[in-house]
Amino acid sequence: MNRLESFDIEEADKFMKILTKPLLLLVLAFGGNQLAHAEEDNWGSLNNQAVALSQQGQFTAAIIAEKAALQVIQGTAASLPLDVAGIMSNLAWLYSTQKQYALAEPLLKRVLAIKELILGKDHRDIANTLSQLALVYRQTGREENAGYAEKRAAAILAMP
CA distance 52 to 90: 12
Of the pLDDT bands very low, low, confident and very high (cuts 50, 70, 90), residue 79 is confident
Instruction: Give the CB-side neighbour count of residue 37, counting CA atoms within 13 A.
Output: 5
- Of residues 139 and 30, which shows the higher confidence score? 139
Give the burial string for 6-21 (b: 16+ CB within 10 Å, else e).
eeeeeeeeeeeeeeee
Q: Is the model's pLDDT at 30 over the cut of 80?
A: no
Query: How high is the pLDDT of residue 9?
Result: 46
Of the pLDDT bands very low, low, confident and very high (cuts 50, 70, 90), residue 76 is confident
CA distance 63 to 56: 13
Query: How high is the pLDDT of residue 125?
Result: 95
Q: What is the mean pLDDT of residues 134-144?
A: 97
Q: What is the mean pLDDT of residues 71-83?
A: 87
Q: Is the model's pLDDT at 14 over the cut of 60?
A: no
Query: How high is the pLDDT of residue 77?
Result: 76
Query: How high is the pLDDT of residue 152?
Result: 97
The pTM is what?
Answer: 0.72
Query: How high is the pLDDT of residue 41?
Result: 62
- According to DSSP H, which parts of the chain are helical? 9-55, 59-74, 81-97, 101-119, 124-139, 143-158
CA distance 75 to 65: 15
